[in-house]
Amino acid sequence: MSAKFVIPVCWEVYSTVEVTANSFEEAVKILTDNIDDVPLGESEYVDESYRIDECDEFTSKHLRHIGGISIDKDGIHK
């Protein structure tokens, strides 16, 4: 009998934002100091970035439990 499983996944996006400043260094500082208040820009999907969230402790623990799959910093290994 089939079952549904919820598996955490992640992917990356790329974007830019406009910051008004007197220099590039000042713009970076302004952005860094206010990063949580800056609206998200138009995002572009980073090719080939879609994957199982290997850093997720829950996923790692349960994949090891089912079938001897292990996850380390280099990815998934059977």
Residue 19 class from Cβ within 10 Å (0-12 exposed, 13-18 middle, 19+ buried)? middle
pTM above 0.85, yes or no: no
Residue 4 belongs to some domain of the structure? no
| Number of neighbouring beta carbons within 10 Å of residue 32 | 8
In angstroms, what CA-CA distances link 61 with 3, 51, 65, 70, 71? 19, 17, 6, 8, 9
pLDDT of residue 62: 62
Query: How many domains would you assign to the chain?
Result: 1
Rounded to the nearest integer, the mean pLDDT of the chain is 81
Residue 2 belongs to some domain of the structure? no
Range of the domain at 40: 9-77
- In this structure, what is the dihedral angle of CA atoms 43, 47, 52, 57, given to the nearest 10 degrees? -60
**Residue range 2-27, pLDDT digits in tens:** 877 777 889 999 999 999 999 999 99
Residue 73 belongs to some domain of the structure? yes
